[in-house]
Structure 1
Amino acid sequence: MRVYTNKEELITEIKQRSQKYIAEFEKIPEDLRNRRTDEVDKTPSENLSYQLGWLSLLLGWKEEEKAGIEVQTLAEGYKWNNLGKLYEFFYETYGQIKLIEQIQQLNDKVEELCSWIDSLSEEELFKPEIRKWATTKARWPVYKWIHINTVAPFTNFRTKIRKWKKLYYRSLL
């Protein structure tokens, strides 16, 4: 997993990766948002819904902690050993809106996340066990939770959506 030297580097990486990821959806017509291909595990809408779901969870954990609520990670009713159920919730929650709206919501959540990161001290971001919700057996600092739910999937899922486009457009020939 990538290590960042400061919060500015993390924010820059999130913004760059998210914009490259989002750009992959620009030419996908709305009527193909739920089109499945055999070689890619998510439709374009599911792909965006996944990202919206994880960013919403991260931002929700921050808000609950701020409100003095004991944060339950992953989310109430969901277990780490059954993430498929959570992903289905993401698809149902965010998959009902148009791609352009999913993209706008994702842009908004990325901006909100980056503003929150900017408000954190370097210690809050990079030292383990500062945030209760981020304290696990692995002793991850907050930045790792952020990276694994933003930069990593923006990068990996960009490849998947590019493959989806290639397979779909090839099928038109």
Structure 2
Amino acid sequence: MSPADLVSYLIGWNELVLKWLDQDDKGQDVDFPETGFKWNELGQLAQKFYKDYDDVGYHELLDRLKKAKENLVETITARSDNELYGGPWYDKWTKGRMIQFNTSSPYANARGRIRKWLKTQT
């Protein structure tokens, strides 16, 4: 796995969470985690993210990740605590917890993988 793959993975998750929020804002049903994938198929979803951004240059990937992160912060900041944590959104999980699970966990995963990759580079 390359650093570009990890950035693609983070972009994929950030943009997916933004998609969920956009669909919800429009009153549309959200197909968690993604159309065609189940929660036990997240490895396959990660492979999709790698492929989605395979032809994008590394610097452009970094720009896209920065933009996705900024959009997430903006949309979360615009929401009330009640909207984020006032009741279940998916199963027993609030919107805020779903955002947290599906943004911070991929970053933690990527950090571990980067550390492992860096050890192979020395």
Flag whether TM exceeds 0.5 (same fold): yes
Indicate the residue corresponding to 2:97 in structure 1.
144
Indicate the residue corresponding to 2:116 in structure 1.
163
2:18 is the counterpart of 1:59: yes
Which AA in structure 1 matches 2:90?
Answer: T
2:40 is the counterpart of 1:81: yes
CA contact (8 A) 1:52 1:109 kept: yes
Aligned length: 122
Deviations 1:141-160 (A, max 9, x none): 12221222222332342232
Q: TM-score, normalised by structure 1?
A: 0.65
CA RMSD of aligned residues (A): 1.5
Rounded to whole Å, the distance in 2 between the matches of 1:102 and 1:109 is 10
**Higher-helix-fraction structure:** 2
Bigger Rg, which one: 1
SS of residue in 2 equivalent to 1:150: helix
Unaligned runs of 5+ in 2: none
Matched residues, percent identical? Answer: 33
Q: TM-score, normalised by structure 2?
A: 0.89
Structure 1 residue aligned with 2:90, among 123, 131, 135? 135
Residues 16-165 of structure 1 aligned to structure 2 (within 5 Å):
42-129=1-88, 134-136=89-91, 139-165=92-118
In structure 2, relative to structure 1, the CA distance for the partners of 1:108 and 1:46 (3 Å cut) is same
CA contact (8 A) 2:13 2:106 kept: no
Unaligned runs of 5+ in 1: 1-41
Rounded to whole Å, the distance in 2 between the matches of 1:148 and 1:135 is 12
In structure 2, relative to structure 1, the CA distance for the partners of 1:84 and 1:156 (3 Å cut) is closer
